[in-house]
Structure 1
Amino acid sequence: MQQPQRIVIVGAGFAGLEVAKALGKAGIDVTIIDRHNHHLFQPLLYQVATAALSAPDIAEPIRRIVRRYPSTKVLFGEVAGIDRDGRRVLLSDGEAIRYDVLILATGSVPGYFGRDDWAAVSPGLKTIEDARKIRSELLLAFEIAERATDPVTQERLMTIAIIGGGPTGVELAGSIAELSRYTLARDFRNIRPESARIILVEAGPRLLPAFSEKLSEYAAERLQRLGVKILTNKAVDHLSDGELGIAGERIGVGLVLWAAGVAASPLAREVGVETDWLGRLIVDDTLRVRGEENIFALGDVAHFADADGRPLPGLAQVAKQQGMHLGHSLARHLTHGDALVPFTYRSRGNTAIIGRHAAVFEQGRFKVKGWIAWLAWAIIHIYLLIGFQSRVLVSVQWLWRYATYDRGARLIARETTPKARPGPKAASRKRKRHEKT
């Protein structure tokens, strides 16, 4: 079989990079397109958002990762659409990149269940920009509270809510609780950050629904020991600047973070083929998009059904395994004419960190919790970091944090001096005055 000359990979996450590396090792020409110039280690993104790590600690330039493969080319650009008939990837600047084989690995975005207006007041966590924004808004809430003279305003500003009780929500809640109680508590004079209210809201009956009930209960108990208030079987019905509505009750908040759901990258719908309820492209057992001969989809943008007919979860290990598999399978197919090999997922277990030396890990019947699970989580995540330099930096910073409870990346990225943000009642009075005029 004659090797196609144009293979394009859109997205340089775990899946896209693994495909590129496997094809690059085989000497096959590949073009990677990404709207960022770096690969992001998303499992540790919440630590950037909560001032535990800096962005460069968990990001590596794409060109540096693939520079050992001369046949691999990197394009920095944003994809605006897919022209299937013309076999072209359309960039936002008007350029079109032709392909013979297209591999989509563009990941996911926060999903608001039809309430996209909530995104403006409840940011999700998917990019470095998201993490920096959350970190700035989180720290800013305490800074404004320090200047406030009204105790009610101070309490509202120091009320942080996280929507969603999955691993991301649990990790955010635990990390924010530790930040306020052990780090910021030593930095302020007019407020007591350790008294901050951290609220974790879950619409289902328990936290970490993908884990066993025993581990779920352990996670809830550990969070409560950190002072986190857990609300289960509670659905959010209102979100606005400074106010959260749960089951008809309104709560004044300084910040609301979204960890309740995700949806496939919007680019999936630009392909113009069938998608599932989350906007994911439906793929066959070789990861080829249904009905398409030369388009493949991986990771969070793909709906791949397991042996029981259930779609694989949006985990880094799923994306990484799919990328490695497709890369090697496609390389043999292109160079030797071998048939594409069906993909089989092998779970390495699920894990979630709750706080300082506390985590849960589950793989089949094997379940572990506490500091052993935390240590295993730390070792695995350090190992999975792309660069040796990143591994060293993260290891040193974690050891320092463990010994001192200190955090170094407490930077607020704002161009102007902040003014006190009005609470819900003040904002309402302002609107009424405006209507009268």
Structure 2
Amino acid sequence: MSARRPKVLVIGGGFGGLFCARRLGNVDVDVTLLDRAACHVFQPLLYQCATGTLSIGQISRSLREELADRDNVQTLLGEAIRLDPDARTVTARRPDETEYTLDYDYLVIAAGMRQSYFGHEEFAAWAPGMKTLDDALSIRRRVFAAFEIAETLPPGPERDGWLTFVVSGGGPTGVELAGQIRELATRALANEFHAIEPEEARVLLFDGGDRVLKSFAPKMAHRAGRTLEALGVELHFGVHVTDVRRDGVTVRPKGGGPDEEYAARTVLWTAGVEAVPFAKHAAKMLGADTDRSGRITVGPDLSVSGHPDVFVIGDLAGRDGLPGVAENAMQGGLHVAACIRRDLGMRGRKDFRYRDLGSAAYISRGHALLQAGPVKLTGKLGWLGWGFIHIAFLTGVQNRVSTVATWMATIARANRTDRTFILGGSGHPEEPYTWESPVHQGNHSTDDGQNA
């Protein structure tokens, strides 16, 4: 490196990228944080935005505002698309499709993962995932519009299809979505319609395993399953969703047997994740190994073999024992910042040691799971622990206060304060009056092609 201050380029403003940039604030380096949305999103609460409990502003914050007191940290809007490790440059694309280049002395790849459809990208047209704010708004539009459309239809199979919701994947996100839709139908919407009974809405959850929440202790997972069933969620285990269409899904038993067809106009996909395109490109350019999902193999200090100036953190870091959870990303961001500081002080780097702070999953009002070492809480105690943890990690005091206030109001009353969903209708050809994405018009099998 030259005598100038080292340049640190962080790609991704999620938990890993944000915590790394924060820790490097006011250190003798110049930090650039590149993000395609220029905001930090609290992903664990996306489903509450999707189902009308919280607003976008309560689960996100401008990166520029969050890092305003770090004079050496610059935030830029753009999507990383190319890496040249020899020249130490990254090319980014602006929303208007123009490009610009950034150079670095240290590169921190914290770009995260996107939803995986296991080679069936056409499913995305009818089964949005849950990774971005756009995903949350798309799901909100589909869920609430389904009830509104059902209200306009006479009793029969067509109305039943609109009142049937399919969730693919029994992990935390799938469980949270399924529980929230049933809670929405039985509480918030129960007395607001005339032609339909929202309580009759069916929520079907499909998973290839033998229980929901497989990362939790079996007893806790089974209790969560019983809570979901009591709420009215129909659980189907040992099956894979093999086709998603405009009006339903096809499900195939893992152990063999005939396919089953389910009519449903709302399908939500939480079944898997894969590396974002830039991560796949970066792995190729760095000559790094990847696993089946595209996670990049890293060394003990989270750097890429042969490239001590390149780190990979969060969901993308491929190393045994590193789960795809927020705590891993946060700790990885802090560790990489410490490695860079030790380099500046001519001291040796330390190996990354992940500390499992536990896992939590929301089931329904008054029911959640919290697992942290020997501590295993369910029911109301788990619910309180879940709430405390999520408030602690939300960015911004204002977001914390407003979220707590909203939760208290939701507990006291059945209504959801952020149910508004936006349809087209401006007259612009790219914004037709529809609940579907414009890209699906005229071609109901088109892949939406967007990156998470």
Normalising by structure 2, we get a TM-score of: 0.89
Picking from 395, 407, 417, the partner of 2:404 is 395
SS of 1:186's equivalent? coil
Structure 1 stretch displaced more, 24-33 or 97-106: 24-33
**Residue of structure 1 equivalent to 2:355:** 346
**Residue of structure 1 equivalent to 2:428:** none
Residues in 2 aligned to 1:128 and 1:343: alpha-carbon distance in whole angstroms: 31
Query: Could you list the per-position Cα deviations for residues 322-350 of structure 1 after superposition, in whole angstroms to 9, with x for gaps in the alignment?
Result: 1112112312222x111111110111111
Map 1:186-205 → 2, pairs under 5 A: 186-205=191-210
Query: Could you list the per-position Cα deviations for residues 106-154 of structure 1 after superposition, in whole angstroms to 9, with x for gaps in the alignment?
Result: 0110011121211111110001010001100111111110001242211
**Residue of structure 1 equivalent to 2:300:** 285
Letter in 2 for 1:290: S
**Residue of structure 1 equivalent to 2:388:** 379
- Please state how far the C-alpha of 1:26 moved relative to its aligned partner: 1.9
**Residue of structure 1 equivalent to 2:280:** 269
Residues in 1 aligned to 2:56 and 2:190: alpha-carbon distance in whole angstroms: 24
SS of 1:194's equivalent? helix
Map 1:39-118 → 2, pairs under 5 A: 39-92=40-93, 93-118=98-123
**Residue of structure 2 equivalent to 1:326:** 336
**Residue of structure 2 equivalent to 1:317:** 327
Picking from 138, 153, 160, the partner of 1:133 is 138
Picking from 402, 405, 424, the partner of 1:415 is 424
Number of residues of Structure 1 aligned to a counterpart in Structure 2: 418
Letter in 2 for 1:255: T
SS of 1:126's equivalent? coil
Structure 2: runs of 5 or more not aligned? 253-258, 426-431, 437-441, 445-452
Cα 1:420–1:375 shift into 2, 3 Å: closer
Structure 1 stretch displaced more, 12-21 or 273-282: 273-282
Contact preservation (8 Å) 1:142, 1:193 = yes
Picking from 284, 298, 302, the partner of 2:317 is 302
Letter in 1 for 2:279: A
Letter in 2 for 1:242: D
Structure 1 stretch displaced more, 1-10 or 237-246: 1-10
- Please state how far the C-alpha of 1:249 moved relative to its aligned partner: 1.0
Residues in 2 aligned to 1:278 and 1:363: alpha-carbon distance in whole angstroms: 27
**Residue of structure 1 equivalent to 2:447:** none
Letter in 2 for 1:363: A
Contact preservation (8 Å) 1:4, 1:100 = no
Identity %: 36
Residues in 2 aligned to 1:270 and 1:337: alpha-carbon distance in whole angstroms: 32
Residues in 2 aligned to 1:185 and 1:385: alpha-carbon distance in whole angstroms: 31
Matched, 1:367 2:382: no
SS of 2:235's equivalent? strand
- Please state how far the C-alpha of 1:3 moved relative to its aligned partner: 6.7
Residues in 2 aligned to 1:115 and 1:291: alpha-carbon distance in whole angstroms: 34
Residues in 1 aligned to 2:294 and 2:196: alpha-carbon distance in whole angstroms: 45
Contact preservation (8 Å) 2:207, 2:240 = yes
Residues in 2 aligned to 1:331 and 1:212: alpha-carbon distance in whole angstroms: 39
Query: Could you list the per-position Cα deviations for residues 217-249 of structure 1 after superposition, in whole angstroms to 9, with x for gaps in the alignment?
Result: 110110011110000111112211111111211
Map 1:114-125 → 2, pairs under 5 A: 114-125=119-130
Picking from 240, 250, 267, the partner of 1:256 is 267
**Residue of structure 2 equivalent to 1:177:** 182
- Please state how far the C-alpha of 1:174 moved relative to its aligned partner: 0.6
**Residue of structure 2 equivalent to 1:239:** 244
Matched, 1:162 2:164: no
Residues in 2 aligned to 1:30 and 1:368: alpha-carbon distance in whole angstroms: 40
- Please state how far the C-alpha of 1:5 moved relative to its aligned partner: 2.5
- Please state how far the C-alpha of 1:364 moved relative to its aligned partner: 3.0
Matched, 1:211 2:222: no
Contact preservation (8 Å) 2:145, 2:435 = no
Residues in 2 aligned to 1:246 and 1:275: alpha-carbon distance in whole angstroms: 30
Contact preservation (8 Å) 1:148, 1:420 = no
Residues in 1 aligned to 2:189 and 2:28: alpha-carbon distance in whole angstroms: 52
Residues in 2 aligned to 1:142 and 1:37: alpha-carbon distance in whole angstroms: 33
- Please state how far the C-alpha of 1:419 moved relative to its aligned partner: 6.8
Residues in 2 aligned to 1:418 and 1:369: alpha-carbon distance in whole angstroms: 44
Residues in 2 aligned to 1:150 and 1:299: alpha-carbon distance in whole angstroms: 48
SS of 2:405's equivalent? helix
